[in-house]
Structure 1
């Protein structure tokens, strides 16, 4: 397998999942800040021009975080990263969608790429603040409706935790935000996992 990633991007969550699985894989750097996602070599891999993308090793490529996470969990059942109970799997997918479809674009893309949301440069600080406000709101929603223990699901650690981790990491390491208590505990638990430590080290990121 080969993961196309950019350091500190949402692909970090998939990187963590691969480390948890423990099977051999390669990393291929896509320098987003340099526009590498739009260059022919990467567009040939993923015409959507974004990370993560996963070459499964069979000549086929998967895109979209939730699908890659689900596929890795389902195709590596021995790792225990995807619940076998139908309801728990459903809730796992629900969290993947919320993180990737709401928290990421509305809460953090607004902060990191404010120009995408306004044609007026003078309005960009307002977009950033709006992103922080929305991210805080989404985190509070998770806090109030937390049904797991240390990890997201009552059934235990799963790919959903790797997804939640990357937005928690952005919040505390890039945005200067303070997480609600349960999410702060979740972040600490994730940072203590060897797979997370290895992924951060490999991407040159602080713990």
Structure 2
């Protein structure tokens, strides 16, 4: 049975979409329309009771959720661990980055920008919440930029951590944030990868228009 990816174009699930393509996996893509509330429909809750994306249904029928967990499982178990670092130190750095991206940069910073109502019920304050989110994202991304000093990738080679980092730099580009030098170099290297180019086009984006003002 092919794997099934429950995803939303342009979201954090893009990282998992990229990994599946990089690993040359056969899978089915199922679009979850978040604005329409698809994540709350019984058929999706049966797969992921957390009501969020992504969700990956594996060949044995079991479902995995959470970007970092799915990325770790794919990279560690598919294609003989092709996209997971072998060295314990590099492995730890990859995990550290994925957790920081998903919890802090996404869950705290960009979440404020994209969903200010989840942080403040007063709509008159939403613009200030969004501004706070962007400031938090800029500060957090600067920390990752330092980690990339003298490196092409998060670990010693391209790994699952890089598509996970990519989805937040992609968001930063989309909202007009200026990426610091090392992150911009990483972002452009990701855009140059055939699998990334393919995924972005499949999700409705034009890669050649990206990284122009980043």
**Same topology, TM > 0.5:** yes
Q: Paired residue for 1:25, among 19, 24, 27?
A: 27
Aligned residue number for residue 181 of structure 2: 181
Report the 3-state secondary structure (helix = DSSP H, G, I; strand = E; otherwise coil) of the residue aligned with 1:87.
helix
Deviation at 1:79, TM superposition (A): 6.0
Compared CA separation, residues 77 and 23, structure 1 to 2 (3 A): closer
TM-score (norm 1): 0.96
Task: Kindly indicate whether the alpha-carbon contact (under 8 Å) linking 1:3 and 1:53 is maintained by their aligned counterparts in 2.
Answer: yes
Q: Paired residue for 1:45, among 42, 47, 67?
A: 47
Distance across 1 between alignment mates of 2:189 and 2:60 = 34
Aligned residue number for residue 102 of structure 2: 100
Distance across 1 between alignment mates of 2:129 and 2:111 = 10
Deviation at 1:77, TM superposition (A): 4.2
1:141 and 2:140 matched: no
Q: List per-residue Cα deviations over 1:172-193 (Å, max 9, x = no partner).
A: 01x1101001101111000000
Task: Kindly indicate whether the alpha-carbon contact (under 8 Å) linking 2:16 and 2:67 is maintained by their aligned counterparts in 1.
Answer: yes
Q: Relative to structure 2, which stretch is displaced further, 69-78 or 11-20? A: 69-78
Aligned residue number for residue 201 of structure 2: 201
CA-atom RMSD in angstroms: 1.1
Q: Relative to structure 2, which stretch is displaced further, 82-91 or 180-189? A: 82-91
Gap runs ≥5 in structure 1? none
Distance across 1 between alignment mates of 2:65 and 2:125 = 32
Report the 3-state secondary structure (helix = DSSP H, G, I; strand = E; otherwise coil) of the residue aligned with 2:144.
helix
> How many positions carry a matched residue from both structures?
205
Distance across 1 between alignment mates of 2:147 and 2:49 = 37
Aligned residue number for residue 190 of structure 1: 190
Distance across 1 between alignment mates of 2:94 and 2:108 = 20
Distance across 1 between alignment mates of 2:20 and 2:79 = 13
Aligned residue number for residue 124 of structure 1: 126
Task: Kindly indicate whether the alpha-carbon contact (under 8 Å) linking 2:93 and 2:154 is maintained by their aligned counterparts in 1.
Answer: no
TM-score (norm 2): 0.93
